[in-house]
Amino acid sequence: MKWTKFTVLAMFFTLIFISSLAMNLVIHEGAHYGVAEILGVNPEVRFTPENVSSKNFFSMDTELAYVQYSSDTADITKDDALIASAGPLADLTLGSLGLFFYFKTKRTKVAKMLLVFVIVPALVSFVTNAMPVYPADGYYVFQYFFS
């Protein structure tokens, strides 16, 4: 009976964690899309190509989803930097709100664990996307402001 209860709980928390990863991805890409839409560059949401295998699924070059938009130049412009910065800023906002609710309000242990499932993916996504290396979002921001 204990193993059944443990298995059900493990499956529940795994489902919650996977859902929080998906939610983080939608919010991150939604922020890119929203800024691109405001700037009027005809954004489209694209998903991972079908030729991605399990071998390169977790590599830096594989993008699960991304926003593609039209640009008049191949150079990195102010619009590119604004669109690129929107995703990590959304991650930072989500992670910060999660931390606020984790520390500033009384929560049960289960609620705190669920908040961790929101906080960790958001902050990890922020850190990895803010790095100034290609193809991370920070690369485009860094290239616009410092080159």
Cis upstream peptide for 135 (omega within 30°):
yes
Among candidate residues 65, 69, 84, the one with its CA nearest the CA of residue 134: 84
Q: What is the pLDDT of residues 5-54, one digit of tens each?
A: 778 878 888 888 888 888 888 898 889 888 888 988 888 777 766 555 55
- Name the pTM for this structure: 0.79
Which residue range(s) make up the domain with 106? 2-146
Q: How far is CA 53 from the centre of its chain?
A: 21
What is the number of structural domains in the chain?
A: 1
* Angstrom distance (rounded) from CA 91 to CA 20: 12
**Residue 122: which pLDDT band, with cuts at 50, 70 and 90?**
very high
* C-alpha dihedral, 25 to 137 to 88 to 115, nearest 10°: 40
